Amino acid sequence: MKLEPVLEELEGAAEKLAVKVRYEPLATTVGHGGLCKVNGEYRVIIDKRASTAERVATLAKSLGALDTSGLFLSPRARQTLQRYAA
């Protein structure tokens, strides 16, 4: 199962929600990244060394904390969001 299309769709969803996604090298103690708010703007910072699956999980978990009900997402992307939103 290819995860790249899901990752691209979640990145597009983040853009529609005005959430900036950045890939940066993170310390291993930080994990794979997550959602934060800087100067009133949401950002998701993801470890650039993370695998595609880890990137999808981090982004889905982060976006799951926000209201995505107004966005059109493919069934696969919506299911991924719901799985990690808990």
Domain ranges of the chain: 4-85
- CB-based contact 60:81 (threshold 8 Å): yes
Asked if residues 50 and 33 have their Cβ atoms less than 8 Å apart, the reply is yes
20-76 per-position pLDDT tens digit: 999 999 887 777 899 999 999 999 999 999 999 999 999 999 999 999 999 999 999
pTM for this prediction: 0.91
User: CA–CA separation, 12 vs 49, rounded Å?
Assistant: 21
Contact 44, 22 (CB under 8 A): yes
